């Protein structure tokens, strides 16, 4: 299987405080997920989308699908190349279910604003991360603060709204 692991993604959600596990027919199957050499979080979900690590020839690939199936009853999985190295962590914003932050060993943190998993996606914001960032993690601290950690217990804080406003001012 050339270093990839075929798996099933099972949709698990919490409905009014009760854990609801989907029936076998509601699983997303034939997904080429990351190999055992992948690091960090392999899957994250918001109430609308599921994102997962897909290692393809060096890493940096993200799989994205809607939580709900399409009109034909099937799930569409979109592959996004968002880093040049393995994705070490990803997290949906708890304040915006369409905003996904990723980090990687390539020392770049990227945020993707995702509205339609079938659309071509480009990062909303990219920020240079910490040096020696081979096992980085990402965490939303507030709606506008993104925390990343580095190899030697380093911590970086990115004020997202200020960066987006600054980028908009420079473009005009």
What's the pLDDT score for residue 99?
81
pLDDT in tens, 68-111: 877 887 777 888 877 777 777 888 888 888 888 887 777 676 76
Q: How many domains does the chain have?
A: 1
Please check whether residue 67 is in contact with residue 13, taking contact to mean a CB–CB distance below 8 angstroms: yes
- Residues whose CB falls within 8 Å of the CB of residue 104, separated by 6 or more in sequence, listed in order: 59, 60, 82, 83, 84, 85, 86, 87, 88, 110, 133, 136
User: Can you give the residue range of the structural domain that contains 40?
Assistant: 5-171
What's the pTM? 0.60
Q: What is the pLDDT of residue 7?
A: 41
> Which segment of 10-19, 24-33, 73-82, 120-129 scores lowest on mean pLDDT?
10-19
- Residue 155 sits in a domain of what CATH number? 2.130.10.10
Tokens representing 89 are 């962590």
CB 148 within 8 A of CB 103: yes
């Amino acid at each position: 299987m050339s270093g990839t692991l075929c798996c099933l993604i099972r949709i698990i959600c919490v409905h009014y405080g009760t854990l609801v596990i989907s029936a076998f027919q509601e699983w997303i199957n034939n997904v080429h997920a990351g190999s055992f050499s992948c690091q960090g979080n392999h899957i994250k979900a918001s109430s609308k989308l599921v994102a997962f690590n897909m290692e393809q020839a060096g890493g940096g690939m993200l799989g994205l699908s809607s939580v709900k199936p399409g009109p034909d009853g099937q799930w569409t999985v979109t592959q996004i190349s968002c880093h040049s190295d393995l994705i070490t962590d990803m997290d949906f914003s708890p304040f915006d279910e369409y905003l996904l932050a990723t980090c990687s060993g390539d020392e770049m943190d990227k945020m993707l604003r995702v509205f339609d998993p079938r659309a071509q996606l480009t990062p909303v914001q990219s920020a240079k991360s910490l040096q020696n960032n081979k096992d980085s993690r990402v965490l939303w601290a507030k709606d506008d603060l993104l925390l990343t950690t580095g190899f030697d217990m380093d911590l970086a804080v990115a004020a997202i709204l200020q960066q987006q406003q600054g980028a908009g001012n420079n473009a005009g």
